Structure 1
Amino acid sequence: MTESWATFGADLHLDLTAGRGLRAGLTEALREAARSGRLAAGTRLPSSRTLAADLGIARNTVAEAYAELVAEGWLTARQGSGTRVAERARPRRPAATAPVRRPARKGPAYSLIPGSPDLGGFPRAAWLSAARRALTDAPNEAFGYAADPRGRIELRQALAGYLARARGVYADPERIVLCAGFLHGLAVLAGVLRARRVREVAVEGYGLDFHRDLLVRAGLRTRPLGVDGEGARTGELTAAAGAVLLTPAHQFPTGVALTPARRAAAVDWARTTGGLILEDDYDGEFRYDRQPVDPTPWQLGERRNSRQRLPVGALQALDPDRVIYLGTASKSLAPGLRLGWMVVPPGLMEEVTAAKGFADWASSTLDQLTLAEFIRSGAYDRHVRRMRLQYQRRRNELIARLASEAPHLRVSGVAAGLHIVLELPPGTERDVIRSAARQGLALHGLSYFRHPDAVGPHADGLVVGYGTPTDSLWSGALDALMRALPAP
């Protein structure tokens, strides 16, 4: 059978030296390709017949060039294996001075930094099963260029049902826009706000600096709202702000829920001024309100009637026309999936989709279809329940250790999420962070999350994330934390 040139992949792109005989030119071109490393050691060359046909020269010319290079050691020729670039044909590189050896940076052995789930808990087997089903059932057009900037309808439909059931969100699939995580969604909304000539966005006085930085880079000023035991002080909102970014179900990092009165104040502000509320429901699935706060309710600064408290739903339900709901799979599954969603008011859909772009380039179509199947099959609910129990167990172990070994320190923000706040004596936060570092433990203090323009007294404390460590590191992280805490 005639050997096809396509069998050998791409063209060799040989540059035959002008003014030389064909055989000599071909020999030198192949030699230089092997010498320079452009043809790597072990590369199989086309047969003499195929290369001759490609170059338009006699087969004997190619055979003679190959034979000469085999004799020189640049090529090897074995029956059944074809002609290949010899392993010894390594490219010659100019001598270089020995690289300067820098000591390797040794990271902390443990981390209790908040904001990340236990990545070891990712449901690999269940996700793989969902991916197989999604791949089998996917229509052919799903593998083309996505034309709808809102994302795949399959995932939007699955999310609409889930968000209504689990978070009380009014979510029509036509109003859901998929994005590559919260930051992507916030960037899209920042563009919408700028196009609306908004100049200022109110934010919580404690929050993530890279959220504020993103807004600033988009040309928006951020003005901090005070935060206390009832959440953000939404009564401080003014007409100067065109939008406000809130974490109402579980304020990050203080851990308090926005009270009904302050929720109502935020909605009233939005209706009166025409402003928008951006709701970050970053860990809404992980609430422990239905269980008594155990084992030390007296220490936690929480109300005793925790059994009667109901899980806090989304603020969006109070006014779906003024609140943009943002959620992600980053805490419930893994941030590496880069999957998030926005539930957008009808009057904003055109602006949001235009700002996002005319093609859904942000996240993989297959990942969207897999998550849709994962939700529809019930695997998502089962995974969230399993992780909720694991995180609740860790929270209880953390609180029990603190009650036993540091009873003089007050704990708050325990009703939900993946972290607690541990209050410290005034002036001790920095020393405790340094002490933790000496124990090989990474920690963030409350001051790390404070807005630079925030006013009022600054409380010392630690924001202890109990979701981050794997099970194998959890015990060691707890021990390191206890060693770093100040004595009474």
Structure 2
Amino acid sequence: MPADWTTFRELLLPGLTGRRAVENELRRAIRDGRLGPGARLPSSRDLAGQLGVARGTVTSAYAQLVGEGYLVAKRGSGTTVAATGTRQAPAVERTEPPPRWRFDLRPGLPALGAFPREEWSQAHKAALAALSADELGYPDPAGFPALRAELADYLGRVRAVAARPSDVVVVNGAAEGLSVVGRVLAGLGHASVAVEEPSHFGAAEVLASHGLAVRPVPVDDRGIRVDLLAGTDCRAVLVTAAHQFPLGVVLHPDRRRALLDWARARDGVVVEDDYDAEHRYDRPAVGALQALDPGRVVYQGSASKVLAPALRLGWLVLPPRLRDAVVDRKRLDDLGTGTLHQAAFARLLRTGGYDRHLRRTRQLYRVRRDALLDELAARLPAWTPIGVAAGLHVVVRLPDGTDDLALQERLAGRGVHAQALANFAREPAFPGLVLGYAALTPDRLRLAVHELRAAADLR
């Protein structure tokens, strides 16, 4: 008679809230021997209940540790510590290396192998040679003036953003930009911020870390439900207007106007995350929401999706009433973003290297997207792709009744990093997978679909 793996199993862990905290504490327990080889872990539902966190938080932590080899997940056998999982604790704490997935389908990951190394190297060398001795001192916390000027020009030309160089603040990636804005909003008396449902879990974590209550507002096929937003206690909202994450919806013109009307009526702020708007294939460009009311909208972007996350370069375009507070917060946090990378990026923008790279990768990603969609249509015709016209990922709607978190676990056991839609919402409207395609070649994407089919057949 098979064992009942759904029986409640208690696991003593300190009070944890985030995925990384759960993941790190489990890893530590395995490494120091508190969880020995073969030890059975609670089901993701049971452990989530013990810790008071979302089930997706535990499922993602389990999947990460399966990929790293600490855990083993088998159908009908639950999740256990790998036979070789116990390790001696190192004398010096070291950062864990990223897992080596056979197929990494994380959304938002660009083709890192396509990074323009030669152009970047030349831009870096030329920018360094042109910097004065004074410019090698502590940077302007608002950003390198030449880069702010180039960004104002580029964003106006490509995204229709209304910006002067003085409106632009350079930050260490979009995450720092959102963190600084969140802290400033909290300092101005904001107690809560609305976010789209579904949305990126990391954004909600950043905002909550500054004491802001996060209020999810549903998204439909026209974007965020502004009528439901009006029923919240919020005076600020975070939106992905040009390409909603993860569903790929474009905010409808009527909703754009209604959103800005809401902000004016509340004396509020709209934070527009324009995270991958330059990547579009089957539809014309949609201008930034910021252009409709620069006094109410904070625009944020970064180089992470076009060039590489490792650069840690992002930018904010700020309303005048927030600009000085953001710059002061940036100064207190880190004295400003490094000048050398800023100067190199400014040169890449000025010489057209950034536009050329974007044109090349847009063609590359279109081919990869088509390969994924064609293979899904051939192998998994009951799965419906959503939001395919732009971006670096697609959402695949699974047949009703599918447990997408369980499917994510099975895929992790096969070395496939694919995230369930349930990780991005408290109450998903349907089961799905969020599949990034930019980082894999067409042949690798076809093989990944074979793994998706095999995992789906195991249910």
The residue that corresponds to 2:208 in the other structure is 216
Please show how residues 12-411 of structure 1 align to structure 2 within 5 Å: 100=88, 107-146=100-139, 148-238=140-230, 240-290=233-283, 310-357=284-331, 361-411=335-385
Q: 1:321 to 1:100 in 2, by over 3 A?
A: closer
Between the aligned partners of 1:105 and 1:210, the Cα distance in structure 2 is 18
Taking structure 2 as the reference length, the TM-score comes to 0.75
Aligned residue identity for 1:222: V
For structure 2, list consecutive stretches of 5 or more residues without a partner in the other structure. Answer: 1-86, 91-96
Contact 2:271 2:298 in 1 (8 A): yes
Between the aligned partners of 1:368 and 1:204, the Cα distance in structure 2 is 31
SS of 1:198's partner is: coil
Aligned residue identity for 2:216: P
SS of 2:123's partner is: helix
Aligned residue identity for 1:218: H
Aligned residue identity for 2:420: G
Aligned residue identity for 1:172: R
Aligned residue identity for 1:334: A
Q: CA RMSD in A?
A: 2.3
Between the aligned partners of 2:295 and 2:391, the Cα distance in structure 1 is 27
Between the aligned partners of 1:194 and 1:348, the Cα distance in structure 2 is 12
The residue that corresponds to 1:92 in the other structure is none
The residue that corresponds to 2:412 in the other structure is 437
Q: 1:227 to 1:359 in 2, by over 3 A?
A: closer
Q: Between the two proteins, what is the percent identity of the paired residues?
A: 43
Q: 1:403 to 1:367 in 2, by over 3 A?
A: same
Taking structure 1 as the reference length, the TM-score comes to 0.71
* Deviation of the 1:359 alpha carbon: 8.3
Structure 1 position 458 matched with structure 2 position 429:
yes
Q: What per-residue deviation string (whole Å, max 9, x for no partner) do you get for residues 136-156 of structure 1?
A: 21122111112x211101100
Q: What per-residue deviation string (whole Å, max 9, x for no partner) do you get for residues 301-335 of structure 1?
A: xxxxxxxxx32121101100000000000101001
SS of 1:282's partner is: coil
Between the aligned partners of 2:333 and 2:146, the Cα distance in structure 1 is 17
Q: What per-residue deviation string (whole Å, max 9, x for no partner) do you get for residues 369-410 of structure 1?
A: 000000000000000011111111111111111111222221
Q: What per-residue deviation string (whole Å, max 9, x for no partner) do you get for residues 150-175 of structure 1?
A: 11011001111110011110111010
Aligned counterpart in structure 2 of residue 481 of structure 1, from 444, 448, 452: 452
Aligned residue identity for 1:376: R
Between the aligned partners of 2:197 and 2:437, the Cα distance in structure 1 is 23
Contact 1:149 1:357 in 2 (8 A): yes
Between the aligned partners of 2:445 and 2:396, the Cα distance in structure 1 is 18
Question: How many residues get paired?
Answer: 365
Contact 1:289 1:311 in 2 (8 A): no
Aligned residue identity for 2:282: D
Q: 1:482 to 1:375 in 2, by over 3 A?
A: farther
Contact 2:367 2:442 in 1 (8 A): no
* Deviation of the 1:243 alpha carbon: 0.4
